[in-house]
Structure 1
């Protein structure tokens, strides 16, 4: 695919978006209420992730008992998540790295000291992937942890940015991520504090600031979408109790 097919001279991307536009976002909370303490589904474009949270609960082994809650994260990819029917295994290096990044990120965001000697198990399943996989997992995990009633400092939202020459492209799809260098940005709340920064390829320092600035703005928009869904669900639960 040529570079002009990714970003045209008219300023349009292959899917019709402009450089600073997010894909269609859809999220749901408390989607698996009978089988989990917390659950959520997030769709960002054609990417879709389901997160299930169990806990806080007693650890399976005493070796995991600590003075604060232990966070365990696992990521699995459905075989039908892409058009290429490749076999995904649980010990895939990329999935292990993603699980470690998620665990490190949310160990700082969740007030684990309020639940000592317990374990929080987060299981993420990738139903469909079309770019922005890590950011989609982060947003889904945030909502699932909130649904489980776990105390957090604030929402953790994440978004990816790809770079076409000097032009940052917000929330890239799979084609854009494959062809271009990209960076995943995560922030806490509505601040400019970056809690996660992952580069998929080498990137010059002079090209990084505009990508970070656009990524932070995208994260703030996603935070508003998630907060709206949480408030909608809370109002619905409140109305059902009043009846």
Structure 2
């Protein structure tokens, strides 16, 4: 069913009841898999991700290029057959999956202190349990928590969020409202981008556009996405602090 954007302009509410600048419910846990060096579980709305991190481990083969003197960040994404509306298993060579793996690996290779671990590999494995929009952003946020749990040094949190526009590329509307944290239906109907930031200075470490959008609307979308990343950073920071508090209380008893 096509998305009725007129409903937004009249009621100032989206189909799921949120306003334009509201995030969906975010729930997260860390240290949920004993077998991994670091692990996390994250929900952004109905998008649900399980992430595990192993390493740094010695490489079985010699890395080339920029990774020769530092750790290689390897990312593997697996989709559960029941994660989408259609119950089918994605092939491992799927173009979209390969693209996401490369983006996540590149983003964290520039944030982690890979120079401390020459000739080694940091493996990030993401299990997609449910898909309902903002998939790349949710994967980045889950990976951040799992890497923090693994104790791998990084310059700061990497937090990501999507931002969209209520007008399509072909639309000539003078007023196009930006939207924060798109769900699956909104992504199918509206142009959107995924933006990731690191540090309190909100340095953009990831900006990925999957659809066409008029250049005049890009600035407002980017500003909304960066603000969403800031909100998510506070939420993830709360999750990490709450986990640390539980660990300390457990050690004292």
- Normalised-by-shorter TM-score class: over 0.9
Q: TM-score, normalised by structure 2?
A: 0.92
The answer to whether structure 1 residue 9 and structure 2 residue 10 are counterparts is yes
Q: TM-score, normalised by structure 1?
A: 0.96
227-236 vs 5-14, which moves further: 5-14
Q: CA deviation at 1:193?
A: 1.7
Q: CA deviation at 1:116?
A: 1.6
Q: Give the corresponding residue for 2:53.
A: 53
Note the alpha carbon deviations across 1:2-61, whole angstroms, 9 max, x for none.
4336625111100000100000000111111x2100001110000011111000111232
Gaps of 5+ in 1: none
8 Å contact from structure 2 (residues 180, 224) kept in 1: yes
The answer to whether structure 1 residue 186 and structure 2 residue 196 are counterparts is yes
Note the alpha carbon deviations across 1:176-218, whole angstroms, 9 max, x for none.
0000000101000222321111111111110011111111110
Seen in structure 2, the aligned counterparts of structure 1 residues 112 and 6 have a Cα distance that, compared at 3 Å, is farther
Secondary structure at 1:151 match in 2: coil
2:60 & 2:29 partners in 1: Cα distance? 30
2:54 & 2:117 partners in 1: Cα distance? 13
Q: CA deviation at 1:87?
A: 2.9
Seen in structure 2, the aligned counterparts of structure 1 residues 218 and 36 have a Cα distance that, compared at 3 Å, is same
Aligned residues: 242
Q: Give the corresponding residue for 2:208.
A: 198
Q: CA deviation at 1:63?
A: 4.8
Q: CA deviation at 1:66?
A: 2.9
The answer to whether structure 1 residue 207 and structure 2 residue 209 are counterparts is no
Q: Give the corresponding residue for 1:89.
A: 91
8 Å contact from structure 2 (residues 197, 229) kept in 1: yes
Superposed CA RMSD in Å reads 1.4
2:63 & 2:132 partners in 1: Cα distance? 39
